[in-house]
């Protein structure tokens, strides 16, 4: 799972990659306004402080894209699934069978085949433009390296392979951008599983069923919602700040609260009950 790699660890790896070439590393970083339509892996170029190292023979690579929210809480991000294995070395094929370029629109379990005679080892990837619809601030292209023994090459394909980084058959060809839909897909709770989305055409009948028996099913659905705390709100709970909260259960999360300029000597002067 790509989420096992913390963003801070990946950033720190750029100082260690020359001594430890098998560490996962960030190949490029793009702000939301400058996300490219296409991206070449392995060009050796540097983007926003991160080097897109040339790919090596004898190794297999897996890649994922990460979108990071630009807030003081740096652990807010979402990652794409791992790509298929990618290698500069062609896989061995039976005698007489020429290597075939994979269909970029069809799912496959085979390694991606890339020319070993290509002078530039950049591999051409399409970063799906809908990533920009996530409305997140920073895009990190993360490269994860796996060692692999070199295999003999046969009749290499003379052109680089172009493939979508995120498979087209993942749920749909259009990535969801609605925050509620993204949470439903990626952070399902037992209550969410037991109450799936209702089609608009069935909504009126569904509401009538919930209203039966003096709104019994409405009450049951409400009780099934988990009230667990997910983010801290220590500043809202400070005694000096509690009078600034109009309602006790409407708070400002620490990671996303609006921070006012601090007045010298006044504790809590930077606090207002507001979130970005």
Q: Is the pLDDT of residue 13 over 50?
A: yes
Least confident stretch, 122-126, 130-134, 188-192, 269-273: 122-126
CA angle 37, 113, 27 (to 5 degrees): 45
Altogether, the residues listed in the chain come to a count of 276
Give the pLDDT band (50/70/90) at residue 247.
Answer: confident
Write the CA distances from 206 to 166, 185, 193, 225, 245, integer angstroms. 35, 22, 17, 18, 36
Across 248-252, average pLDDT: 85
Neighbouring CB atoms inside 10 A of 22's CB total 11
260 vs 157: CA distance, rounded Å? 59
Report yes or no on whether pTM surpasses 0.85: no
* Helix or strand run (H / E) with residue 145: strand 138-147
Least confident stretch, 23-32, 109-118, 203-212, 255-264: 109-118
Residues paired with 47 in a beta bridge: 50
9 vs 5: CA distance, rounded Å? 7
| Residue the block writes with tokens 């019994």 | 216
Give the per-residue pLDDT at 273. Answer: 94
214 vs 84: CA distance, rounded Å? 53
Give the per-residue pLDDT at 33. Answer: 75
């Amino acid at each position: 799972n790509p989420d096992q790699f913390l963003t801070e660890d990946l950033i720190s790896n750029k100082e260690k990659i020359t001594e430890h070439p098998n560490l996962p590393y960030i190949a490029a970083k793009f702000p939301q306004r400058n996300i490219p339509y296409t991206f070449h892996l392995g060009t050796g170029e540097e983007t926003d402080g991160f080097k897109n190292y040339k790919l090596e023979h004898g190794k297999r690579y897996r890649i994922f894209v990460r979108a990071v929210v630009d807030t003081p809480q740096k652990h807010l991000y979402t990652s794409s699934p791992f790509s298929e294995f990618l290698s500069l070395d062609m896989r061995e094929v039976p005698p007489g069978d020429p290597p075939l370029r994979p269909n970029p629109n069809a799912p496959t379990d085979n390694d991606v085949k890339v020319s070993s005679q290509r002078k530039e080892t950049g591999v051409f990837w399409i970063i799906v433009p809908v990533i920009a619809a996530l409305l997140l601030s920073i895009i990190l292209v993360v490269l994860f390296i796996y060692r692999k023994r070199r295999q003999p090459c046969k009749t290499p394909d003379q052109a680089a392979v172009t493939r979508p980084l995120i498979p087209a058959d993942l749920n749909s060809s259009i990535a969801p951008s609605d925050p509620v839909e993204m949470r439903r897909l990626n952070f399902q709770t037992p209550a969410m599983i037991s109450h799936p989305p209702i089609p608009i055409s069935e909504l009126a009948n569904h509401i009538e069923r919930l209203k039966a028996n003096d709104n019994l099913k409405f009450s049951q659905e409400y009780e099934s919602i988990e009230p667990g705390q997910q983010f801290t709100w220590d500043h809202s709970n400070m005694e000096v700040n509690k009078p600034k909260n109009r309602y006790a259960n409407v708070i400002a999360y620490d990671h996303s609260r609006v921070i006012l300029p601090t007045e010298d000597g006044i504790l809590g002067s930077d606090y207002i009950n507001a979130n970005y």
